[in-house]
């Protein structure tokens, strides 16, 4: 009785070895040619931001999302008035500001009549052949602030705005000049909503503000 049992065990072991060999050959046939690979599954490279100045922190929030409809580049929106409809400010609604002593061609004009950012830029361009003011030094910032502090308004528009979205948000001047100076209030520009920049009439610090709000503004021409 022992011999048949031993023979059965030997046959069973040989079958198991043969099955294992077949499975090994099957995996080998799949090999590198048929098994899925990681090609094309790598993470996409981060999008490169266009050249600009003073990158906004990535975690910065856009606010409520409805505070600004003027677009991301500071250009005149479709809701802005046309040049034919635009009425230039009366002389009594403007104040000529003291310019930079080191720049004889730098002239500034305060327009008292409040307008949204885009309309303010249209007035500067169409009525005075200029733009909303860009500020490149503390001395100019102080000169402008000293002139506008007589207003019964907390803030006035200057020509700074945010361009781009997401990881590529940056501050730029609407006249295209270099963003080489800033005078932010405490907590700015990280906190607060809006894509346009105001100058505070008391203290001269800058804040972000929704572009659709109407404010007095400073033109450079």
- The C-alpha atoms of residue 29 and residue 22 are separated, in whole angstroms, by 11
User: Do 1 and 93 reside in the same domain of the chain?
Assistant: no
Q: What is the pLDDT of residues 13-22, one digit of tens each?
A: 555 545 455 5
Structural domains of the chain, count: 2
Tell me: pLDDT of 129 over 70: yes
Q: Which residue has the higher pLDDT, 206 or 10?
A: 206
User: Do 103 and 188 reside in the same domain of the chain?
Assistant: yes
What is residue 55's predicted lDDT score, i.e. its pLDDT? Answer: 56
User: Do 23 and 61 reside in the same domain of the chain?
Assistant: no
Percent of the chain with pLDDT over 70: 58
User: Do 131 and 199 reside in the same domain of the chain?
Assistant: yes
Indicate whether this model's pTM tops 0.85: no
Q: Mean pLDDT, to the nearest integer, of 188-196?
A: 86
Q: Mean pLDDT, to the nearest integer, of 95-108?
A: 71
Domain assignment of residue 42, yes or no: no
User: Do 7 and 85 reside in the same domain of the chain?
Assistant: no
Tell me: pLDDT of 28 over 50: no
Burial readout 5-34 (b: 16 or more C-beta within 10 A, e: otherwise) = eeeeeeeeeeeeeeeeeeeeeeeeeeeeee
Tell me: pLDDT of 172 over 90: yes
Domain assignment of residue 45, yes or no: no
Tell me the average pLDDT of the chain: 74
Give the range of the structural domain holding residue 12, as residue numbers without chain letter. Answer: 1-32
Tell me: pLDDT of 83 over 70: no
33 Rama class: left (phi>0) / alpha (psi -120 to 50) / beta: alpha
């Amino acid at each position: 009785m022992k011999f048949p049992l031993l023979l059965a065990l030997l046959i069973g072991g040989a079958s198991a070895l043969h099955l294992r060999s077949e499975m090994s050959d099957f995996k080998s046939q799949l090999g590198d040619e048929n098994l899925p690979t990681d090609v094309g599954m790598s993470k996409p490279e981060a999008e490169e931001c266009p050249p600009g100045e003073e990158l906004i922190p990535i975690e910065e929030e856009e606010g409520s999302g409805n505070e600004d409809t003027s677009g991301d580049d500071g250009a005149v929106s479709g809701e802005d008035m046309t040049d034919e409809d635009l009425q230039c400010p009366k002389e009594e609604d403007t104040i000529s500001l003291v310019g930079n002593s080191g720049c004889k061609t730098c002239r500034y004009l305060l327009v008292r009549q409040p307008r949204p950012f885009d309309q303010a830029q249209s007035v500067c361009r169409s009525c005075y052949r200029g733009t909303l003011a860009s500020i490149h030094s503390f001395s100019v910032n102080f000169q402008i602030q000293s002139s506008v502090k007589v207003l019964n308004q907390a803030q006035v528009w200057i020509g700074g705005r945010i361009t781009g979205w997401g990881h590529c948000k940056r501050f730029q001047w609407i006249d295209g000049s270099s963003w080489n100076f800033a005078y932010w209030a405490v907590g700015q520009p990280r906190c607060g909503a809006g894509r346009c920049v105001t100058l505070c009439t008391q203290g001269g610090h800058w804040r972000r503000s929704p572009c659709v709000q109407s404010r007095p503004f400073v033109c450079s021409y």
